[in-house]
Amino acid sequence: MQRLKDYFSKNKVTLMVIPNAEKSIKQWKFNLAIAFIVLITLTLVNIGLLINTVTAKAESAHLNVANDALSQDLVRTQDKITSLENINQSKSDEIDHLKASLISSTDFLEERLEEMDQAQTYITQLVDLFNAETNSSLVAPVSRSFSRTAPVAVDASTGDSLSYSEDALISSVESLVSSDEISNILSEQSEAYTELVSKLESQISYLECRPDFFPTSGTITSTFGYRKDPFTGQTALHNGIDISSTSGTNIYAAGTGVITFAGWSGSFGNVIVIDHGYGYETAYAHCKTLDREVGETVQKGDQIATMGSTGRATGTHLHFEIRYNGSAINPLNIVTQK
């Protein structure tokens, strides 16, 4: 150690500065130990700077990588934002379409419900007129009412009504689609009208078959009930009415039905019998000619025979009977006289 100290103290380091040829050379002498320390210090500083430069480059490379990743994330985020904006625009367009559809559907339903109300009024009037004309007792169906008051949001502070929010609109559309109230009303109304039509058809069929059409033209010469028999002179039940006119006068079906007999029948002479259904049957006796055959269907008012005096008759006339469930009834209680 002492030798090393002696070596450093005896040896010097000279630092020379040569500015140019005109100026003198400047030189400085330093102790070798000081020079060594300065050299070591500079070396350490350079090593530190080198380490710092390498570390800085490594950090810079890492930051570049992170920056690239962030840039890619930013691009992806921007793409997502653009996609969300497109979706939002699509939803906005869909909501606008739903708004327009809701308004159109509401207007359509309002028109249909108004038409239903008008039809209800018209049908009620028709049924009332039908009942008055036919002494029937049909009842017009009454439709179940449907609430047409749409929910409206109200500003609590001002009391002014507000437009639908998107959530309220979608809720209303879903409610409109999922609710069966309108469908149920239409179904009930359709069933009621179908039932009414069925009843009307049945009633019309009954009215067509009911033998209330006056069967011929002429004068009633004998009514229904007990009377003195013109041949025996004794009191006997007259089961029909006698209508007198000229020979060959047309005889008409008092109601729609099926011919069940057409031919000669003892004292009745030529007779036609019609089964009208609903328990009604009519007989037309003393005919001159029979213009229909058994099994034929005739309509009310169809010509079926001509008036004569066949069988036991005092003169040209039609003996007309109405039987209900097999029993003779007074035709004048059924037919409408001309």
Query: How many other C-beta atoms are found inside a 10 Å radius of the C-beta of residue 116?
Result: 15
pLDDT in tens, 228-246: 887 777 888 899 999 999 9
pLDDT in tens, the chain (338 residues): 667 666 666 667 677 777 766 667 777 776 667 777 878 888 999 998 999 998 988 888 888 888 888 989 898 999 999 899 998 888 888 888 877 877 777 777 777 777 777 777 777 777 776 777 666 676 766 655 554 444 444 444 555 444 445 556 556 555 655 555 666 666 777 777 777 777 777 777 788 899 999 999 999 999 998 888 877 778 888 999 999 999 999 999 999 999 999 999 999 999 999 999 999 999 999 999 999 999 999 999 999 999 999 999 989 999 999 999 999 999 999 998 65
Residues 15, 28 contacting (CB under 8 angstroms)? yes
Residues 337, 214 contacting (CB under 8 angstroms)? yes
User: Beta strands of the chain (E only): which ranges?
Assistant: 12-17, 26-31, 153-154, 161-162, 219-222, 225-228, 235-238, 241-244, 250-252, 257-264, 270-277, 280-290, 297-298, 303-307, 317-324, 327-329
Residues 185, 146 contacting (CB under 8 angstroms)? yes
Burial class from Cβ neighbours inside 10 Å (0-12, 13-18, 19+) for residue 31 reads: middle
d(CA 40, CA 18) in angstroms, rounded, equals 25
The token pair that represents 288 in the structure block: 């001159």
Integer Rg of the chain from CA: 59
Residue 90, by phi and psi: left (phi above 0), alpha (psi -120 to 50) or beta?
A: alpha
Residues 322, 332 contacting (CB under 8 angstroms)? no
Residues 306, 184 contacting (CB under 8 angstroms)? no
* Cβ-proximal residues to 26 (8 Å cutoff; 6+ apart), any chain: 16, 17, 19
Residues 278, 332 contacting (CB under 8 angstroms)? no
pTM > 0.75: no
Q: What angle (nearest 5°) sits at the alpha carbon of residue 180, between those of residues 177 and 186? A: 115
Q: What is the DSSP letter of 70?
A: H
Query: Cα–chain-centroid distance for residue 298?
Result: 44
3-state secondary structure of 161: strand
Residue type, 234: Q
